[in-house]
Amino acid sequence: MKFELKMPRLGESIHEATIINWLKNVGDRIEEEDMIVEVATDKVDTEIPSTVSGTITALLFEVDAVIKIGSILAVIEIDATCVTSEKSSESDKKIILSAQTDSFKKSANTEKVFATSKITNNNFFSPLIVNIAKREHISFEELARIPSTGKEGRLRKSDLLEYIKQGRPTQFVQPMKEKDPTAYRIPQLDLDKGTGSIVKIDRMRQMIADHMVYSKHTSPHVTTYVEADVTELVQWRDKNKQLFQDKYNQKLTFTPLFVEAVAKAVKDFPMINISVDGENIIVKENINIGLATALPSGHLIVPVIKNADTKNLYDLATDVNELASKARDNKLKPDDIQGSTFTISNVGTFGSLMGTPIINQPEVAILALGIIKKRAEVLETPVSDEIAIRSMMYLSLSFDHRVVDGFLGGSFLRRIGDYLEQIDHNRIL
- Same domain for 60 and 15? yes
- Same domain for 236 and 382? yes
- Same domain for 319 and 278? yes
- Same domain for 271 and 409? yes
Lowest mean pLDDT among 51-55, 146-150, 242-246, 407-411: 146-150
Question: For the segment 374-394, what is each residue's pLDDT rounded down to a tens digit?
Answer: 999 999 888 889 999 999 999
- Same domain for 283 and 388? yes
- Say which DSSP state 136 is in: T
Question: For the segment 205-251, what is each residue's pLDDT rounded down to a tens digit?
Answer: 888 888 899 999 999 999 999 999 999 999 999 999 999 999 999 99
Q: Are 48 and 68 in contact (CB under 8 A)?
A: no
Q: Residue 52: what pLDDT?
A: 85
pLDDT mean across residues, the chain: 82
- Same domain for 328 and 387? yes
Query: When comparing pLDDT for 393 and 338, which is higher?
Result: 393
Query: When comparing pLDDT for 425 and 403, which is higher?
Result: 403
Q: Give every strand in the sheet of 45-49, ordered side by side.
A: 45-49, 35-40, 16-22, 66-68
Q: Is residue 297 part of a domain?
A: yes
Q: Is residue 180 part of a domain?
A: no
Going from the C-alpha of 340 to that of each of 49, 184, 318, the distances in angstroms are: 27, 38, 18
Q: Residue 180: what pLDDT?
A: 60
- 82-86: Cβ within 8 A, 24+ apart: 82/32, 82/52, 82/53, 82/54, 84/3, 84/51, 84/52, 86/3, 86/4
Lowest mean pLDDT among 205-214, 315-324, 361-370: 205-214
Q: Residue 43: what pLDDT?
A: 57
Which is catalytic among the residues 79, 309, 401, 418? 401
Q: Is the pLDDT of residue 90 over 60?
A: no
Q: Is residue 285 part of a domain?
A: yes
Describe the chain by its helix, strand, coil percentages, rounded to 5.
Answer: 30, 25, 45
Q: Is the pLDDT of residue 255 over 90?
A: yes
Question: For the segment 114-133, what is each residue's pLDDT rounded down to a tens digit?
Answer: 333 333 343 456 666 777 88
- Does the active-site annotation cover 405? yes
Q: Is residue 94 part of a domain?
A: yes
- The residue out of 81, 98, 115 marking a domain boundary is 98
**Phi, psi angle pair for 315, to nearest 5°:** -60, -40
Question: For the segment 158-186, what is each residue's pLDDT rounded down to a tens digit?
Answer: 788 888 887 777 665 555 455 566 665 66
Which is catalytic among the residues 202, 238, 329, 405? 405
- Same domain for 72 and 120? no
Name the residue range of residue 117's domain. 101-165
Q: Is the pLDDT of residue 414 over 70?
A: yes
CATH number of the domain that residue 410 is part of: 3.30.559.10
- The residue out of 70, 98, 126 marking a domain boundary is 98
Going from the C-alpha of 42 to that of each of 45, 99, 154, 186, 312, the distances in angstroms are: 8, 23, 13, 35, 32
Number of domains within the chain: 3
Q: Residue 181: what pLDDT?
A: 65
Q: Residue 231: what pLDDT?
A: 96
Query: When comparing pLDDT for 35 and 87, which is higher?
Result: 35
Q: Residue 101: what pLDDT?
A: 36
Q: Residue 415: what pLDDT?
A: 97
Q: Residue 198: what pLDDT?
A: 86
Q: Is residue 298 part of a domain?
A: yes
Q: Is the pLDDT of residue 106 over 60?
A: no
- Same domain for 356 and 246? yes
Whole-number Å distance between alpha carbons of 329 and 402: 38
Q: Is the pLDDT of residue 138 over 60?
A: yes
Q: Is the pLDDT of residue 427 over 70?
A: yes
pLDDT band at 401 (very low <50, low <70, confident <90, very high): very high
- Same domain for 55 and 123? no
Q: Is the pLDDT of residue 86 over 60?
A: no
- Same domain for 161 and 249? no
Q: Residue 119: what pLDDT?
A: 37
DSSP line for 49-77: EPSS-EEEEEE-S-TT-EEETT-EEEEEE
- The residue out of 98, 113, 129 marking a domain boundary is 98
Q: Is the pLDDT of residue 89 over 60?
A: no
Q: Is the pLDDT of residue 98 over 50?
A: no
Q: Residue 117: what pLDDT?
A: 31
- Does the active-site annotation cover 15? no
Query: When comparing pLDDT for 206 and 401, which is higher?
Result: 401
Q: Residue 151: what pLDDT?
A: 55
- Same domain for 358 and 270? yes
Q: Is the pLDDT of residue 413 over 50?
A: yes
Q: Residue 297: what pLDDT?
A: 77
- Same domain for 233 and 367? yes
